[in-house]
Structure 1
């Protein structure tokens, strides 16, 4: 909840780590989140398949579990590529069915065996006493910690609230806190009730069946109802679990591309993944998520136990970095925050708890799947670093381009140029920061169409990424910076004797905002032709094609669909 208070605009673990601990910690958090979202898809579908084949009438085909998991992944991938998202109309009946059936099972399971509670408590006390007398309390404690870790992935649902603050109704902080409380209580009651039923009914593993299915069969088997009705109830109850797990997998398909977009905006992954409004970009993100999830499912043979271990490790990596970041934050603001000691203590406790669990899991489960997630995450981090280094190299090349155009004169004042009529030939140029790239594109238009265009309009988008999406002050600075960029380009054009104006917008999605401005300009100036620059290299290869921004082509595709002309001009990296 403290994360919501400090970051009311949202952002989650990646933003917290980047803002408070630096880009390196942000990369570790972002890479861990990406792997987590892939594992969310894999583990949800694997668990759904296990639940389905735990239904008594389907259990004989349990050997097909892996194929059902992969088939479910293929169907879900196809639906996401087609643009189908979860709907309240679909999820509501699934959730209500799950809720009602499990209220019956948990309620009957607890109160139907209430007499056994005293015996269970005595046995638990005896176990603790024996462990104390024999000096085995520590292994018992470790066992509890590991069990807690295996179920702690449920915290990602609560953490997801801080990632989705932008979709909550006002007041967002109050709504976010209320949502977190409701989720925490519902998880605690449901998980606690199911675990208590396990103990009261003496549930033990039975082959490939899920423990929930074993418990549901045991509870329902004691009812005095017709066998057909009991079998139907068991089928509906377990099937609602599977359906809800598939919906959870869909959350991974939605959250993964969003994290990928944040990483792209900070140049950790190819910039092409930043444009979530571009259907092709979103499709590529979905396919990437599906391919990674499929590889993990095949590698682990769909074993939920191994996937849970991998999932838990990365979850707690993100939590540890978040808690460290929050502790650093309270130290920084202690002079102006009266309650900083209490908040620091709260996050310190969270840090110790999460750090201890992460350490235990890594040590005890390293050879049971833990090393896999460590290697995968490290591999992703190495890839991100190599991408970042490439972009820095290109930035140095662009600075040379800036130096080549540093002597270009600008108009110090408005030279009094007359605005031509609305039907006059108009060149509309999309620009980023003021520098050699944009200037080169401007002069390329002059070179290709000398003295043809009588009006120049410069359009720019200030993208609100994790470098700016940290507070009102930073966003205001971004707006001033973007406005200053447009002003410089206008002065440049006027210095060359051209009538010029400019416009800009601030937001998280460059393509969408560029299209909004383009539609307005086209409406005002029907003869407008749009231009953008595209960086080209002397030796193009798969790496340069993968890493370099496809924003210009994404906008061009959108414009062609709407009947607007756009030309992409090459800018050589020298």
Structure 2
């Protein structure tokens, strides 16, 4: 190895460490506690998605009322009630799914894998939309205070912000939340001030608003009828459905919360529900009290802030900070897409709906593959739409209500099935049935109203994702059937002859076999070593990595359980090898990167056993397709390249699988 190559490698490594942070140490007993979020930080990281929707959800509903603005008084109350109903329903989901109760998990467990993949795919598309529309809206707010000539820089700036969030999230959720927390708190402080001042400074308007409500109701009932009034109100209520889109994020992100997770999750849900209900409903109320009317080039919230603060000392500056923080909060809201999107993707990868590599954790214990894919998809959508919020908003609200509806349907079914075991099943069922009715209503009306404006694109993208998931799942099923035939043939492999109880001899030729679980795949590799190189090796060391992926990264107990399971499988391999007449032992390590951890372990063994050859198996297909490398990682070849560069002979033995 040339010295400058080592220096370049070291420089590259230092650069990665500086950008993404140093690796987390899995052996640290306090690791999970330090990485987990307390309720207030979880509220920032996950609640921002819901709270930021007050920037456009109430406005969309108010505009839909048109000349019937007096109905905003009733709409404010119904909107707050809806937030609490859906939030309470998800609090119940948190209790029954303490390791993460997102829409994919709930639908899969309670309605079946078909409903699960629909819910998961809808959520993934929604989270990409969350990232894109949040960043685009943030840039709209920023550039509304800049010269018009600078507008062509908006999309590049949005792209830079997306890349910045990708880097922050690869570093870690807690780190990214901590960086973004001041923006969140500025929004909360300025909007509490604006809304409370708006209500109390216009308290004399309450009586006229109530009179206008009664008079307007009487007038409209006589002109368009009670049914017409109900349909008009229902349309405005449904088109304001974007207000509720972030509620699911808390239950889906339960894994990153501090123990006790259920209590932390429920408290975070309470914080989010209260703040969202307060903000959204008071914004609608202030629209009425201040008699806000649309102004070209401004949001209604900006008009409201100008009207309320214009007479204050430094009022214009305060209005600017209030609306700027609203735009900046949308950047924080994109965080929910980066936190929960990869988690949904990882859960689907564990169930083989996505390539298995998306369940892997990076050295920083983040789902780097999922974060990068979500970021790339958001960038593509951002450049495709030119960062147009009007084009994105019509694609945004539909998918989340598909997930909401399936979750509420699943929980309703759950309590009906548990009616004999749970004496309070009727009360719980009523909550979820009301939530189901509200979510289905919003879904149907929003889809109908927005279908031609871009809703069809959302449904089409979701359908494509679902189709891809089924193609991936079917491929993995065919491969598993092929591997199952190996298991049936080889797991009860008969042996004859004396058992070798001798300890391994460091001076004898030694085979190091990389294994992942006791299976026909590993047994086939062992027999291939013995038949291809008969009487060559006297020792065999079985080596395995206890891989921490998103399925096992739930706490210190899960790490210990994973280690015990890996050791139990290794002991089975050792027993089989000794029955075949070899001196055998095992080594294992815990890690998130199989290639790096396994390579390091083999290099250590090569120093102890100087006459060493490393063996590993690799699935081989009759006809290699372009997608095989994506669906089946190239771990064996990556390890071989590293070890051979280090001077350790490595042999890959093919395992043929019929698909």
TM-score by length of 1: 0.84
Compute the displacement of 1:318 (Å): 0.9
**Aligned residue runs from structure 1 range 61-460, under 5 A:** 61=150, 65-77=154-166, 86-87=175-176, 89-133=178-222, 134-135=224-225, 136-155=228-247, 159-223=248-312, 225=313, 229-277=314-362, 283-402=368-487, 405=490, 408-410=493-495, 415=499, 417-421=501-505, 427-446=511-530, 447-448=532-533, 450-459=535-544
How many residues are paired up? 561
Per-residue displacement from partner, 1:311-345 (whole Å, max 9, x unpaired)? 21111111111112112222333332222222122
CA, structure 1 residues 348+463, in 2 after alignment: closer, same or farther (shift >3 Å)?
farther
One of 15, 20, 26 as aligned partner of 2:116: 26
Q: For the residues of structure 1 that align with 2:130 and 2:441, how far apart are their CA atoms?
A: 23
Q: For the residues of structure 2 that align with 1:564 and 1:280, how far apart are their CA atoms?
A: 29
CA contact (8 A) 1:86 1:247 kept: no
For the residue of structure 2 that corresponds to 1:18, the secondary structure is helix
Q: Is 2:133 aligned against 1:43? A: yes
CA contact (8 A) 1:511 1:551 kept: no
RMSD: 4.0
For the residue of structure 1 that corresponds to 2:459, the secondary structure is helix
CA, structure 1 residues 362+455, in 2 after alignment: closer, same or farther (shift >3 Å)?
same
Per-residue displacement from partner, 1:363-415 (whole Å, max 9, x unpaired)? 22211221111101000000111111122222233344446646732479x93
Q: For the residues of structure 2 that align with 1:310 and 1:192, how far apart are their CA atoms?
A: 24
Q: For the residues of structure 2 that align with 1:477 and 1:333, how far apart are their CA atoms?
A: 31
Q: For the residues of structure 2 that align with 1:307 and 1:566, how far apart are their CA atoms?
A: 51
Q: Which moved more, 1:16-25 or 1:451-460?
A: 451-460
CA contact (8 A) 1:316 1:354 kept: yes
CA contact (8 A) 2:342 2:367 kept: yes
Q: For the residues of structure 2 that align with 1:457 and 1:322, how far apart are their CA atoms?
A: 44
CA, structure 1 residues 445+205, in 2 after alignment: closer, same or farther (shift >3 Å)?
farther
For the residue of structure 2 that corresponds to 1:455, the secondary structure is strand
Q: Which moved more, 1:395-404 or 1:521-530?
A: 521-530
Q: For the residues of structure 2 that align with 1:327 and 1:30, how far apart are their CA atoms?
A: 19
CA, structure 1 residues 91+82, in 2 after alignment: closer, same or farther (shift >3 Å)?
closer
Q: For the residues of structure 2 that align with 1:562 and 1:340, how far apart are their CA atoms?
A: 63
Compute the displacement of 1:549 (Å): 3.0
Q: For the residues of structure 2 that align with 1:84 and 1:141, how far apart are their CA atoms?
A: 40
CA, structure 1 residues 278+93, in 2 after alignment: closer, same or farther (shift >3 Å)?
closer
For the residue of structure 2 that corresponds to 1:456, the secondary structure is strand
Q: For the residues of structure 2 that align with 1:511 and 1:345, how far apart are their CA atoms?
A: 46
Q: For the residues of structure 1 that align with 2:438 and 2:600, how far apart are their CA atoms?
A: 52
Compute the displacement of 1:123 (Å): 2.1
Q: Which moved more, 1:343-352 or 1:134-143?
A: 134-143
Q: Residue 526 of structure 1 aligns with which residue?
A: 608
Compute the displacement of 1:269 (Å): 1.6
Q: For the residues of structure 2 that align with 1:250 and 1:557, how far apart are their CA atoms?
A: 37
CA contact (8 A) 1:51 1:210 kept: no
CA, structure 1 residues 476+343, in 2 after alignment: closer, same or farther (shift >3 Å)?
farther
Per-residue displacement from partner, 1:271-316 (whole Å, max 9, x unpaired)? 2222122689955434422332233334444333443332211111
TM-score by length of 2: 0.74
Per-residue displacement from partner, 1:16-38 (whole Å, max 9, x unpaired)? 11111111111111111111110
CA, structure 1 residues 77+440, in 2 after alignment: closer, same or farther (shift >3 Å)?
same
CA, structure 1 residues 291+469, in 2 after alignment: closer, same or farther (shift >3 Å)?
closer
CA contact (8 A) 1:458 1:490 kept: no
Consecutive unaligned residues in structure 1, runs of 5 or more? none
Per-residue displacement from partner, 1:195-231 (whole Å, max 9, x unpaired)? 22222222233333222222222222122x2xxx334
CA contact (8 A) 1:265 1:274 kept: yes
Q: Which moved more, 1:530-539 or 1:81-90?
A: 81-90
Q: For the residues of structure 1 that align with 2:335 and 2:296, how far apart are their CA atoms?
A: 28
CA contact (8 A) 1:145 1:360 kept: no
CA, structure 1 residues 459+79, in 2 after alignment: closer, same or farther (shift >3 Å)?
closer
CA contact (8 A) 2:394 2:450 kept: yes
Q: For the residues of structure 2 that align with 1:555 and 1:211, how far apart are their CA atoms?
A: 58
**Aligned residue runs from structure 1 range 461-476, under 5 A:** 461=546
Compute the displacement of 1:434 (Å): 4.0
CA, structure 1 residues 327+146, in 2 after alignment: closer, same or farther (shift >3 Å)?
closer
